[in-house]
Structure 1
């Protein structure tokens, strides 16, 4: 079957000779199989894959096909089509602009109006533009923090949040009806402009977005009077954050911002960062060299589409240390709630939202301030969905949301994680603590002493190709049905199966339903309050293991994690080989 598809592409009159040469030059049969044995999957995150020719790769043909499915979905959902528009953004990755235009011109060929950003922008600015321009959907071309050979295609609903399961399935149903990938509609850029189907957007959206970001500051007088006191090193890691982050901070009054020149310009080859992810401490190597002379109060970096942010601070020995996503989230949760309490401004129905794989320390802090903590499935789209829900029913007032993978959000005008917003809150928090004579690391240690020394770890296991996909399924089946209810002498007290929507208490043998969307995820909670989660990645050929322990000190937590990690790896290898 895959061979037939391969031959169809090679013989197609729609594919250029250069593209055909790429396919003809593949010598490895396994590579041909992997490129054509299936279509690139359209999940709740849209598409993500390696850029190359093939049905299981991202290229202008798979982008057009996905967009034709979205076009059909929109034309059916909003009958008539006169008032349908879609906003499109893209980042600094190779081919991002070309894929954005391919999507735009397919929509235009279907009679749908498009608002296309004039150049690269952070993903959260697209989320904002969708709502601001009253679009029915949005598209972002990005693969976030993946290596340079990847790109992706994310779809947003009219609420500015990534489409969640029901909408994604409906869009997929339209994509699957397209038999011929080369038959989808397109038109020329000039014709789309002439027919007023294609609108180019820029500064007007930038300005209103930045004004709203600036309005989120809590201690506005402090920023106004002391912003000059904070010394910052910032790296955009060759991505889209450089202009909006620096412009926003500059307009707030932060003048001592030193950008990492070698990583300032957008570049999809990511020459200084093989893995352009602020979760990877290596992306801060150049910034740390600069820090020897500049001696900043804080260092931070944003990923290529500027929705994630990583923070580096000095520890008790004067050494710079990269904070985890959970640690930055704990600090921000506490800073926001303590500042609001000081101003007597915590709403009675206030809520913090986090994902099921994110630190439980946030729950302890929220409880301390009388604020509800709400868990959602992994993926910021579920946090965005809750924000929309709160705005509609008024049940809660959204205060802050975060996930362990370096994503944060305040305010409700964006419905996705936002590193521009996060950078302003992190700078305000660092400035506040500086005026109190402590840095962010010391503030974090104070929180650990008060709430417990929580430590989390993520293990990613890459399993590529068709065989890898089957292995992932086997692992999940083993853990779901065959795993023991003990880790050495520590009992597993609860098993949460999000695919079956069931929480099982393994001590008193009771069950209760889980009121979250179904997802192929398992969470195991032990009697010492440690836990682990197993989740196949929705965007990469990986299975992810999330681990959490609580210690009586940092050293105790570190030791507990090492022991726990080895136990979980043993279980995983049993499952993998079982």
Structure 2
């Protein structure tokens, strides 16, 4: 029987609800719940809710917070007094986990700034910087299904901590028994003066910064744009509607069935704006309302999905690469028109994001630089370039994450929602164009870049072993061609290439500039396959992408 399981089973003070769940576990479930401590991936600690050291629960939250507290205390009194900002989303146990983290930190005389109610991830990032905190904690599992929750750790710059800083927390965790740590109440921390509520003035400061990003505050154009918005039962409702209201977008209709925060996300299987299914209700209302665009944010409002009405009257879905290309082009175009575009500015994207953005940036005389997957790497470079007085222009990932203003150091769907609405309003009034038409023009100017992603899911301990074996096989027996496209170069980022940290990513570059990238997800038990097909026209690129995907799927399904 598992040693950790026995410790939990015989722990007299175990939470009664967790004990009840523990007693119902099958042998396979016991193995999965206890075979390792919940790991940190590209976006912190994330996992299924439930009993065990490989699950999100009060004890795993208490343990990792203990490690963070010890790390901060080791940095001296100033760091301890600067403290930690904490926010949480609409998920199950998010408020309880936030309170648990706050109480644990306060018990070590580490100052805590705690939001009194749910907030989006970008507002937590902003609060860390605004308050001068030493660190931040965001309780969220982002776009995962309702059975998940998570714990993101932020540094003093407002960005998710990079691996070398997370390693220090992990070192501090060595030997800590999560069951031996006492529980500390939120009320005691407040009474002691170590826990302070984050006031509304921080919200106001954030909103003002977001509003300052606007390029075209045209009241007439904004009033004429019809918008359907869904927060997918998460934190985005109030912030997005507030910003749009301030800019005069008077025809914003929120999907009522998805408006209220709900940890069960009852209208969707997973609240992920990358998935078309989550927009079913929004698109139905868009048809009734003849909306120009449809936007949706995930539960912690760091990712944004977008649809736009096309000239035929139907709604076109945009993937993360396409949204990024539109936002990038609009941002550079408007800055250039106002004489505000610096040729020294920098645009940042991940290595699995479309190269179309590089062509757009180049057409404006602007440099684009790649980072590893995970927005913390974009934030890290924002910090580095800021120190060199290099203007940050835009950062994005194919996974529906965008950043326009560096006052936040994580992807920000509130910024993106505002800019998508402003962009759509501008093109509608100034050029009588829909966003679908704007994208088609960009394809004509830069070539057609068509991307897709598919994945294979591997559950549990055995699943992780299969993922590892597959990546080893792909390294030891590299692909020579994909469909009919010869491979010109294989990039193995585990070797630390292109001046980037080492990462478990393989990228196959074809002779025609198409490419495929393969990486295990840092947030879910799956391996992701990214395909980018490049051609002169859209139809040719789409056909090439289909051939590439079919070839990869056929090979992998045979070998798995």
TM-score interval (norm. to shorter): over 0.9
Q: Aligned-pair distance for 1:483?
A: 2.1
State how far apart, in whole Å, the 2-side matches of 1:399 and 1:386 are.
12
Q: Which residue of 2 aligns with 1:565?
A: 549
Range that drifts further, 437-446 or 37-46: 37-46
The corresponding residue for 2:51 is 53
Q: C-alpha displacement at 1:351, in angstroms? A: 1.1
TM-score between both structures, scaled by the size of structure 1:
0.94
Find the partner of 1:534 among 498, 518, 534: 518
**Structure 1 ranges of 4+ moved more than 6 A:** none
Which is worse superposed, 491-500 or 117-126?
491-500
- Quote the Cα distance in structure 1 between the aligned partners of 2:190 and 2:158: 25
- Which of 155, 160, 163 is the matching residue for 2:161? 163
1:278 to 2:280 alignment: no
Equivalent residue for 1:543, pick from 527, 543, 546: 527
CA distance in 1, matches of 2:400, 2:80: 39
Q: Secondary structure at the match of 2:325?
A: helix
Aligned-pair distance for 1:315? 2.7
* TM score, norm. by length of structure 2: 0.97
Q: Which residue does 2:2 correspond to in 1?
A: 3
Partners of 2:78 and 2:393 lie apart in 1 by 38
- Note if contact 1:106-1:184 (Cα within 8 Å) is conserved in structure 2: no
Is residue 42–residue 523 contact of structure 2 (8 Å, CA) maintained in 1?
Answer: no
Give the match for residue 182 of structure 1: 179
Listed as ranges, the matches of 1:4-403 within 5 Å are 4-26=3-25, 28-79=26-77, 82-178=80-176, 180-220=177-217, 223-394=218-389, 396-403=390-397
Please give the per-residue CA displacement for 1:520-541, whole angstroms capped at 9, x wherever unaligned. Answer: 1111101011101110111211
Secondary structure of the residue that 2:179 maps to in structure 1?
A: helix
1:435-491 alpha-carbon deviations (Å, 9 max, x no partner): 111110111111111111110011111001111101111111111121242335532
Aligned equivalents of 1:107 and 1:402: distance in 2? 33
Matches within 5 A, 1:507-518: 514-518=498-502
Instruction: Classify the secondary structure of the residue corresponding to 2:47.
Output: strand
Structure 1 unaligned runs (5+)? Answer: 503-513
CA–CA separation in structure 2 for the residues paired with 1:185 and 1:71: 14
| C-alpha contact (below 8 Å) 2:295/2:305 kept by paired residues | yes
Q: For residues 311-342 of structure 1, what are the alpha-carbon distances to aligned partners after superposition, in whole Å with 9 as ceiling and x for unaligned?
A: 01123432112110111111111111111111
Q: Structure 2 regions of 5+ residues with no counterpart? A: none
Distance in 1 (CA, whole Å) between partners of 2:67 and 2:545 is: 46
SS of 2:451's equivalent in the other structure is: strand
- Cα 1:433–1:408, aligned 2, differ >3 Å: closer, same or farther? same
Do residues 430 (structure 1) and 424 (structure 2) align?
yes
Q: What is the alpha-carbon distance in structure 2 between the residues aligned to residue 195 and residue 79 of structure 1? A: 17
Shift in Å, 1:550 = 1.1
In 1: Cα distance, 2:380 partner to 2:313 partner: 41
CA distance in 2, matches of 1:45, 1:433: 35
The answer to whether structure 1 residue 476 and structure 2 residue 475 are counterparts is: no
Q: Do the aligned residues in 2 keep the contact of 1:277 with 1:303 (CA within 8 Å)?
A: yes
| 1:124-168 deviation per Cα after TM superposition (whole angstroms, max 9, x unaligned) | 000000000010000000000000000000000000000001101
Contact 2:122 2:412 in 1 (8 A): yes
Quote the Cα distance in structure 1 between the aligned partners of 2:238 and 2:483.
52
The Cα shift of 1:79 comes to: 4.9
Do the aligned partners of residues 454 and 177 (structure 1) sit closer, same or farther apart at CA in structure 2, a change above 3 Å counting? same
Q: Secondary structure, in 3 states, of the residue corresponding to 2:407?
A: coil
The answer on whether the counterparts of 1:43 and 1:168 sit within 8 Å (CA) in structure 2 is no
Query: How far 1:44 sits from its partner (Å)?
Result: 4.7
Question: Partner residue of 2:415?
Answer: 421
- Contact 2:401–2:413 under 8 Å retained in 1: yes
CA distance in 2, matches of 1:189, 1:129: 20
